Amino acid sequence: MNQTANYRLTIVVPVYNEENNIDALEKSLGEYIKSAICTACVLFVDDGSKDRSLERIKQVCSRNTGFYYISFEKNAGLSAAIKAGIDTACSELVGYIDADLQTRPEDFNLLIQHMDNHELAAGIRANRKDTGFKRLQSKIANGFRRMMTHDGATDTGCPLKIMRTDYARRIPFFTGMHRFLPALIQLQGGRFIEIPVQHFPRVADQSKFNLRNRLIAPFVDCFAYRWMKKRYFNYKIETTDLSE
């Protein structure tokens, strides 16, 4: 049996070359699942790391209850890692946090409180601890995304979110989809809410984002979303005799 089914929340942690953050992740996530307001487990998704990340993840999972992992044969990107985590999780809720710990697991408790009435609860990085240039890039990209999607979301780049797993699995996935989660939930008639969360500077390893994938790629992805939105369809089966 998939052991994530024993928990209400599975926290997906995509990892790519983050070996120097694994100890901090073990400590922070371990402390959180003991104090979480619902039963929670951790699912690491190693995205084909070239350093010792996977080795260290295996060690963490072997000595901690409620810690699990899957690993890719080769690097596939952040969106693929998030999708794999969602596809693997069998819990009612699935969360997502970056391995750099610029957001903190304890803030999942702020989001969980809203999941009875929403299909997505997303963090907003309050007092963001990034450079002015990074904040400017995000401001431009978020503004363009809102204009193209009309999703009303403030900070889709915040790496702290919780979704209802049944809705998350129906999201049409594509490279860059992690920037459009509110809009993709809305396509299904779902509701989302944004909650201010803590933000911290990166303290280990290197950011995987640059000018190209923080600013240029989101512009291109917006057109992909607009194309997909026109062709997206919803259906709900009303009756069936398959169980008779």
Average pLDDT, the chain: 85
pLDDT of residue 176 exceeding 90, the answer is no
* Angle separating helix axes 53-63 and 22-35, nearest 10 degrees: 30
The lowest-confidence range among 68-72, 196-200, 211-215, 224-228 is 211-215
pLDDT, residue 211, reads 47
Judged against a pLDDT cut of 70, whether residue 24 lies above it is answered with yes
Of 127, 112, 129, 118, give the one whose Cα is nearest residue 153.
Answer: 118
**Confidence band for 192, pLDDT divided at 50, 70 and 90:** very high
Least confident of 40-44, 67-71, 101-105, 205-209: 205-209
Residue 197: the pLDDT is 93
Averaged pLDDT for residues 191-195: 95
Sheet strand arrangement including 192-197: 67-71, 40-46, 9-15, 93-97, 160-164, 120-125, 192-197
Spatial contact of 154 and 145, defined as CB atoms under 8 Å apart? no
Is pLDDT above 60 for 183? Answer: yes
Mean pLDDT of all residues in 209-214: 52
pLDDT band with cut points at 50, 70 and 90 for residue 180? confident
Crossing angle of the two packed helices 217-231 and 132-149, in degrees rounded to 10: 20
Q: Is residue 164 pLDDT above 80, yes or no? A: yes
pLDDT score, position 71: 97
Q: Is the CB of residue 54 less than 8 Å from the CB of residue 22?
A: no
Query: Which residue would you say has higher pLDDT here, 87 or 213?
Result: 87
